[in-house]
Amino acid sequence: MSRVNTVLGPIPTEELGLVAVHEHIGYGMPGSELDTKWWKTPEQRYEETVPKLRAFHEYGGGTFVDATGICNGRDVDYYKSLSAKTGVHIVACTGFVGGDTALWHFAKASVDYLTRQFVHEITVGIGDTGSLAGVIKVGVSRGGRMTDLDKRIYRAAARASLTTGVPILTHLAIDAENAIAIFNEEGLPLDRVLFGHVDDGVNADKTRDVWIAEQGGRIGFDTFGYETELPDPPFWARPRKERLDHFLRFIGEGRLKQALASADANCSPLGWPGVKGHTVNYIFEDLIPDLRAAGLDEAAIKTIFVDNPADFLTIQK
């Protein structure tokens, strides 16, 4: 039986449809909830979020993978209501965006404790929601090198992935030698890991995407739409053509089966202003048209957005 955990319960892989594999309903750094400058009413949050998800559904989107880690404003009850009312499958994650987003209780925890936290959220439930996590989030802290805590989280994620069959999705793919060493030590096949943000404007130059792919990892071009052409681009933005060319070059080297793409947009950001005009629907409104214009056929597009995410997300048990 093939299955994927969504916030409303497990679904058959066949039902995922087109997947936005690295997105956020709303992301905020831990502690941002104390600063009223970012607060929004529930009315406002639904108003900002529902039309984007509805449009995603109407464009033919099937599944939205939320990559918001444990202390970053992840709100599974809210996701359940959004999923039920819009018809979009939402996959929630366990894990942390990076060690620098893990609060003290987890920052001092052992690999064993972190493993048990992740396994619990995948097999028993996230808090009292009853929802099971469908993916494990890990990442590299600010600064460009994996910290000791980042490494503990990666190791725990590898063990939880082996125990549960749920895959791992990374924030940043820099310092990948350290990440891959940990996954190899734990015996985790690298096709269970999506190395994300290889296209990020700050880190693309120092991210060894081809090397990671050669080791067997899946590669996430998943910050599509954060463009320097935007009126107010974030610091991780990148010229649109440069990112697209990077992606086309990568898949042109026979690596289509290892490539995934997403927009990493916030429907309604929690602890930062967000980027005006950038939504998950960049995938339909800009990216897929750009890929067609570059000569990709429908089969290739289906591979990137349907088949590859389905292989990745399906619980390996």
Q: Please report, as ranges, the residues that interact with other proteins according to CB under 8 A.
A: 28-36, 39-40, 70-71, 100-107, 116-117, 120-121, 124, 127, 141-142, 202, 234-236, 270-272
Min dist CB 98 to other proteins, Å, is 8
Closest CB to other proteins among residues 117, 314: 117
Min dist CB 283 to other proteins, Å, is 23
Closest CB to other proteins among residues 39, 211: 39
Query: Tokens 């940043």 correspond to what residue?
Result: 172
Task: Using CB atoms within 10 Å of the CB of residue 130, give its burial: 0 to 12 exposed, 13 to 18 middle, 19+ buried.
Answer: middle
Q: What is the largest CA-CA distance in the chain?
A: 50
**Which of helix, strand or coil describes residue 61?**
strand
Q: Which of 223, 251, 248 is nearest to 237 (CA)?
A: 223
Closest CB to other proteins among residues 70, 194: 70
Min dist CB 180 to other proteins, Å, is 24
Min dist CB 241 to other proteins, Å, is 22
Backbone phi, psi, residue 117, to 5°: -60, -50
Closest CB to other proteins among residues 101, 170: 101
Angle between helices 111-123 and 148-164 (to 10 degrees): 40
Q: What are 30's two structure tokens?
A: 């831990």
Min dist CB 106 to other proteins, Å, is 5
Closest CB to other proteins among residues 38, 183: 38
